[in-house]
């Protein structure tokens, strides 16, 4: 049987908008994020998912709830789907991290292990990919709501990609998703990346 996973990043938050490091801080969606979740949920509902699984952090759980409202499925929460733990970075803007922790910031920019109290990439990748594997047993099509770094590292770990290849993936936009398929002959394969509703454009003022 072919299985399909749709791994979905949460909607926008005020910390996203302000380039502030969230990590495992429980930041809620903002108004834009709630609109993004509702719009994306319409597309995902049309794919007729059998189950919905989410990180237990509010921004992902509330994103998943928008899809649950359309499908009638209950959301299963899994803390393994939480974002990467960024330790002392959490709550700082990226500019503040660069000033306060320049060596760690330089390692992060280079795609290396950051060190300090920031979660190791291999640890992140394994815990998220384990959660994805378990989610995939819940039906032929399963939607998983999680976080940006968690998606990229977890999906890459599931596909067996080396770190150099992971760096070729662009950051996943808010409320966009990755499509993965699995069959016994070929294992996990990447079908699509960064799929979603077009970003909102400002409404022009009345003439």
Active site residues: 10, 83
Question: Among 93, 25, 92, which residue's Cα sits nearest to residue 59?
Answer: 25
Q: Is 70 left (phi over 0), alpha (psi -120 to 50) or beta?
A: alpha
- The answer to whether 77 touches 52, Cβ cutoff 8 Å, is no
Here the contacts of 93-100 (C-beta below 8 Å, separation 24 or greater) are 93/18, 93/19, 93/20, 93/21, 94/19, 94/20, 94/21, 95/19, 97/21
Q: Kindly give the interhelix angle for 58-71 and 31-45, rounded to the nearest 10 degrees.
A: 40
Query: How many whole angstroms separate alpha carbon 143 and alpha carbon 132?
Result: 10
Residue 141 near residue 181, CB atoms below 8 Å: no
């Amino acid at each position: 049987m072919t299985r399909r996973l749709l791994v979905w990043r949460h909607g926008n938050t005020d910390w996203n908008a302000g380039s502030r490091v969230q990590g495992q801080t429980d930041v809620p969606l903002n108004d834009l994020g709630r609109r993004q979740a509702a719009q994306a949920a319409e597309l995902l509902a049309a794919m007729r998912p059998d189950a919905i699984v989410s990180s237990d952090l509010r921004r992902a759980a509330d994103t998943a709830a928008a899809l649950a409202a359309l499908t009638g499925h209950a959301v299963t929460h899994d803390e393994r789907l939480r974002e990467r733990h960024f330790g002392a970075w959490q709550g700082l803007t990226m500019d503040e991290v660069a000033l306060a922790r320049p060596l760690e910031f330089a390692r992060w920019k280079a795609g290396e292990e950051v060190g300090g109290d920031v979660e190791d990439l291999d640890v992140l990748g394994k815990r998220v990919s384990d959660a994805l594997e378990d989610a995939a047993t819940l039906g032929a099509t399963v939607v998983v709501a999680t976080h940006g770094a968690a998606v990229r590292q977890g999906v890459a770990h599931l596909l067996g990609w080396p770190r150099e290849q992971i760096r070729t993936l662009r950051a996943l936009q808010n409320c966009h998703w990755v499509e993965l398929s699995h069959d016994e002959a070929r294992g996990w394969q990447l079908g699509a990346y960064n799929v979603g509703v077009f970003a909102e454009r400002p409404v022009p003022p009345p003439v």
